[in-house]
């Protein structure tokens, strides 16, 4: 049984410690096999162990929500990020109030710099600071209290403790001061820290909304309604009511509501949302169209083939969401640090207070330095460093047709030093043509032989079979339906045509069947020397198998593939081409592609591709290699899964049909949504840049705390400066991650 998974939104998380606490709470729910909480998306991906009872499956959402609420956070719908507050200033009101109330408290500091004395009376300071402390700052007390009840700590607890200490110290100094005396109070420190933290969180929320632009843009591609042809004419219905088989009318400029096949008309379709390719694609009758793409200049009638979660757009959205929900391996270090971070900070703050007090300083000075340590140590940036970069990287990659399935593929891809390509359909167009048909027996007529070949191949989906049928159509050769056709994996197919037992397959097959060599073999080898893929039509008889015809097939390199391979080689990568063709044909194509002879592995059976990838990973001289495998077919799935990074190429044929790529896409960590080899370099590049951003973010997140805590403990930072630095750390991490949005392949 496959594992079940679900997503749940979580409100109120503020730092890496919150993430750890939510994960612990959810992990305790019976039946949970795994949980990954993402601070940047404010959501959790929960995996349920197989074997749950029907009752457990029905109540899993309620159990998760209860666990989240008992941990002190607000359970939200998984789609909460789709509903973003309108306007760039949404949510700024609390920050604005805090700024207005805090400004008069900061004014005396400005006055001191100008030689003026603008100190407010203590009562006015109290009246301005208290609403900031207990009304605007109520969220910190609430979340901090829940953290204490759970036996852990978080950013909110540090802010609440630090600012409360500053506020309480100010009240105590005010009440203990002699009548009429002017004492220095610290109301401004507490109020400004809370205001700065709120400002930082607001800026952080704005940045988060930008990192999730990719997901929201994909959701927005789905039209709300579709025009369905019914017995009573055309009718507008919500897309939730569409059924497979419905006929839809799509007018120029409208989006296709679901995946389908064109029944009437022809048009140009903008599929840039799917492939990243800006040029429109011509669609005629029998061509496939994808939900969310834009109809061009023609009215078309489409039969619905897939709805809901079965559509290509839903699959793309799921892949992007999966990538943003999973954790990169580097995040484990952050999780380990965050688990002990807040308790360590509390100990350091207490040690700072005691050290200053025991060295003869006043309670006032000791407490202020303790507050500064509490405030600057908040681990907000630590929790955002990795997910923010992953969200930005996977989001921008998706806009260019590079879908990254999980964070592990993203992190490993930049380490790749060897790229192995399946030849047919990946490096070549994948639509071979029949270039030559030679009679093995001098008395046979080529037209009759072509009719036999087309008859035997008429029911096959193999590219070479299509080439035979297309050649027969082009020459107006008629064929008959075969009987009892069976495919022999890796060799060819056989069956009865007009009562004759025929087989059509590779030279290896005929050699395995013990067919004696003759002049036909010289003809076949001559075609191979010209770089053609050779198949042989033969007939079974009582005395053995007799060759009837030699067929030579040729393919063409994809446009731009030579330049793409040269780019990869310039990056220092080792290139490998894997082909099931004979050595001559594979080497001839390699020469056209600009590959070296030693980079070619020919006559590789589909079942042996994974084993070859494993050998490549072992490397030479005991030095292992990190291998990426690029393929596009069903038979590439084992190799895609075996490689360190699998890249599935979603080729679209001239008739609009996608090849057998669904299985390949499931096995691969990265999907290239158009058959452009240049996207391989793009995928490796965005991986390298994203990992670089993760490392930069983690460096700055640790650096803020590593430098800030000692400076605060030694008295070089006031609580106000500490609060500003803490807010700046989160904003800088988010801003650095957003720089990835400028990336282009």
Residues 491 and 573 in one domain: no
Tell whether the model's pLDDT for residue 657 goes beyond 70: no
Lowest mean pLDDT among 240-254, 343-357, 485-499, 671-685: 485-499
Q: What CATH number is given to the structural domain containing 274?
A: 2.70.150.10
Q: Are 739 and 689 in contact (CB under 8 A)?
A: no
Residues 513 and 562 in one domain: no
- How much is the average pLDDT of 353-377? 89
DSSP string, 672-729: ESSS-THHHHHHHHHHHHHHHHHHHHHHHHHHHHHHHHHHHHTT-S-HHHHHHHHHHH
Tell whether the model's pLDDT for residue 3 goes beyond 60: no
Q: What CATH number is given to the structural domain containing 26?
A: 3.30.70.100
Q: Is residue 657 included in any domain, yes or no?
A: yes
Residues 443 and 548 in one domain: yes
- How much is the average pLDDT of 608-616? 89
C-beta pairs of 234-241 under 8 Å, 24+ apart in sequence = 239/307
If residue 418 lies in a helix (H) or strand (E), which one and from where to where?
Answer: strand 418-422
Neighbours of 184 (CB within 10 A): 9
pLDDT of residue 686: 94
> Could you read off the pLDDT of 251-293 as tens digits, one per residue?
998 999 999 999 999 998 888 766 666 668 888 898 889 888 8
Token pair listed for 3: 């594992």
- Residues whose CB falls within 8 Å of the CB of residue 421, separated by 6 or more in sequence, listed in order: 427, 575, 576, 577, 578, 629, 630, 631, 677
Which residue spans within 259-389 are E strands per DSSP?
259-264, 267-270, 281-283, 288-289, 294-295, 300-306
Residues 536 and 439 in one domain: yes
Q: What CATH number is given to the structural domain containing 527?
A: 3.40.1110.10
Query: pLDDT exceeding 70 applies to what percent of the chain?
Result: 87
Q: Is residue 49 included in any domain, yes or no?
A: yes
Residues 504 and 565 in one domain: no
> Could you read off the pLDDT of 116-149 as tens digits, one per residue?
666 788 889 999 999 999 999 998 898 888 878 8
Tell whether the model's pLDDT for residue 297 goes beyond 60: yes
Q: Is residue 132 included in any domain, yes or no?
A: no
Q: Is residue 185 included in any domain, yes or no?
A: no
Q: How confident is the model at residue 324 (pLDDT cuts 50, 70, 90)?
A: low
Pick the last residue of a domain from 554, 574, 597.
554
Q: Is residue 726 included in any domain, yes or no?
A: no
Q: How confident is the model at residue 543 (pLDDT cuts 50, 70, 90)?
A: confident
Lowest mean pLDDT among 175-179, 331-335, 386-390, 680-684: 331-335
Neighbours of 337 (CB within 10 A): 19
Residues 546 and 454 in one domain: yes
Q: What is the DSSP letter of 84?
A: P
pLDDT of residue 660: 40
User: What is the distance between the alpha carbons of residues 580 and 587, in angstroms, rounded to a whole number?
Assistant: 12
pLDDT of residue 246: 94
> Could you read off the pLDDT of 549-572 as tens digits, one per residue?
999 988 888 889 999 999 999 999
Catalytic residue set:
422
Query: How many domains does the chain fold into?
Result: 4
Q: What is the mean pLDDT of the chain?
A: 83
Query: pLDDT exceeding 90 applies to what percent of the chain?
Result: 23
> Could you read off the pLDDT of 720-741 as tens digits, one per residue?
787 777 777 878 888 898 899 8
Q: Is residue 274 included in any domain, yes or no?
A: yes
Q: Which pTM does this prediction carry? A: 0.69
Residues 567 and 546 in one domain: no
Tell whether the model's pLDDT for residue 656 goes beyond 50: no
Residues 565 and 664 in one domain: yes
- How much is the average pLDDT of 636-664? 67
Residues 639 and 583 in one domain: yes
Q: Are 19 and 383 in contact (CB under 8 A)?
A: yes
User: What is the distance between the alpha carbons of residues 740 and 745, in angstroms, rounded to a whole number?
Assistant: 12
Q: Is residue 28 included in any domain, yes or no?
A: yes
Residues 244 and 297 in one domain: yes
Token pair listed for 20: 């750890």
Q: How confident is the model at residue 2 (pLDDT cuts 50, 70, 90)?
A: very low
- Structural domain including 77 reads 4-82
Residues 451 and 524 in one domain: yes
Q: Are 72 and 143 in contact (CB under 8 A)?
A: yes
Pick the last residue of a domain from 554, 582, 601.
554
Q: Are 241 and 230 in contact (CB under 8 A)?
A: no
Residues 442 and 546 in one domain: yes
Q: Is residue 324 included in any domain, yes or no?
A: no
Q: What CATH number is given to the structural domain containing 588?
A: 3.40.50.1000
Q: What is the Cβ-side half-sphere exposure of residue 293, based on CA atoms within 13 angstroms?
A: 27
Pick the last residue of a domain from 510, 536, 554.
554
């Amino acid at each position: 049984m496959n594992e079940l998974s679900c997503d749940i939104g979580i409100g109120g998380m503020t730092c890496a410690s919150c993430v750890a606490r939510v994960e612990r709470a959810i992990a305790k729910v019976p039946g949970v096999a795994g949980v990954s909480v993402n601070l940047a998306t404010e959501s959790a991906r929960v995996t349920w162990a197989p074997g749950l009872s029907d009752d457990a499956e029905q109540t899993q959402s309620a159990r998760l929500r209860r666990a989240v609420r008992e941990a002190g956070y607000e359970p939200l719908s998984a789609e909460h990020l789709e509903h973003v507050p309108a306007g760039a200033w949404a949510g700024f009101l609390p920050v604005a109030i805090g700024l207005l109330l805090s400004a008069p408290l900061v004014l005396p500091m400005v006055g001191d710099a100008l030689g003026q004395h603008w100190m407010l009376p203590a009562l006015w300071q109290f009246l301005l600071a208290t609403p900031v402390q207990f009304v605007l700052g109520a969220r910190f007390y609430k979340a901090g209290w829940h953290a204490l009840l759970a036996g852990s700590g978080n950013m909110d607890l540090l802010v609440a403790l630090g600012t409360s200490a500053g506020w309480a110290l100010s009240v105590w100094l005010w009440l203990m001061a002699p009548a009429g005396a002017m004492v220095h109070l610290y109301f401004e420190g507490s109020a400004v820290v809370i205001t700065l933290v709120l400002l930082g969180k607001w800026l952080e929320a704005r940045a988060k909304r930008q990192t999730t632009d990719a997901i929201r843009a994909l959701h927005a591609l789905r039209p709300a309604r579709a025009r369905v042809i019914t017995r009573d004419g055309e009718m507008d219905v919500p897309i939730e009511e569409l059924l497979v088989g419905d006929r839809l009318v799509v007018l120029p400029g409208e989006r296709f509501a679901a995946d389908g096949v064109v029944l009437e008309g022809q048009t140009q379709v903008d599929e840039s949302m799917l492939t990243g390719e800006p040029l429109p694609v011509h669609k005629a009758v029998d061509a496939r169209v994808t939900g969310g793409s834009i109809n061009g200049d023609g009215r078309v009638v489409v039969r619905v083939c897939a709805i809901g979660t079965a559509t290509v757009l839903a699959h793309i959205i799921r892949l992007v969401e999966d990538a943003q929900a999973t954790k990169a391996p580097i995040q484990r270090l952050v999780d380990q640090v965050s688990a002990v971070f807040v308790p360590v900070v509390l100990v350091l703050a207490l040690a700072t207070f005691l050290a200053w007090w025991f060295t003869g300083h006043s309670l006032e000075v000791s407490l202020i330095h303790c507050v500064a340590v509490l405030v600057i140590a908040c681990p907000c940036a630590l929790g955002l460093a990795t997910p923010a970069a992953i969200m930005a990287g996977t989001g921008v990659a998706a806009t260019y047709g590079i879908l990254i399935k999980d964070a592990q593929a993203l992190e490993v891809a930049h380490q790749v030093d060897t790229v192995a390509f399946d030849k047919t359909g990946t490096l070549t167009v994948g639509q071979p043509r029949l270039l030559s048909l030679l009679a093995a027996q001098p008395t046979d007529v080529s037209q009759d032989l072509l009719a036999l070949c087309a008859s035997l191949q008429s029911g096959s989906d193999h590219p070479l079979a299509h080439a035979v049928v297309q050649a027969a159509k082009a020459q107006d050769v008629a064929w008959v339906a075969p009987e009892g056709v069976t495919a022999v994996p890796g060799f060819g197919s056989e069956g009865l045509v007009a009562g004759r037992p025929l087989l059509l397959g590779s030279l290896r097959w005929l050699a395995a069947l013990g067919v004696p060599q003759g002049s036909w073999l010289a003809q076949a080898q001559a075609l191979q020397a010209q770089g053609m893929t050779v198949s042989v039509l033969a007939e079974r008889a009582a005395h053995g198998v007799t060759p009837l015809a030699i067929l030579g097939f040729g393919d063409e390199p994809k446009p731009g593939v030579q330049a793409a391979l040269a780019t990869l080689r310039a990056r220092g990568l080792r290139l490998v081409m894997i082909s099931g063709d004979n050595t001559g044909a594979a080497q001839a194509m390699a020469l056209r592609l600009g590959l070296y002879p030693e980079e070619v592995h020919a006559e590789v059976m589909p079942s042996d591709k994974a084993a070859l990838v494993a050998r490549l990973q072992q490397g030479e001289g005991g030095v292992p290699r990190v291998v990426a495998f690029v393929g596009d077919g069903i038979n590439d799935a084992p190799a895609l899964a075996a490689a360190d990074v699998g890249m599935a190429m979603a080729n679209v044929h001239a008739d609009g049909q996608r090849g057998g790529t669904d299985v390949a896409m499931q096995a691969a960590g990265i999907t290239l949504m158009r058959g452009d080899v240049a996207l391989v370099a793009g995928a490796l590049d965005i991986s390298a840049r994203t990992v670089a951003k993760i490392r930069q973010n983690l460096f700055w997140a640790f650096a803020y705390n590593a430098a800030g805590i000692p400076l605060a403990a030694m008295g070089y930072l006031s609580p106000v400066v500490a609060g500003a630095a803490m807010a700046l750390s989160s904003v800088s991490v988010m801003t650095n991650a957003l720089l990835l949005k400028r990336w282009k392949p």
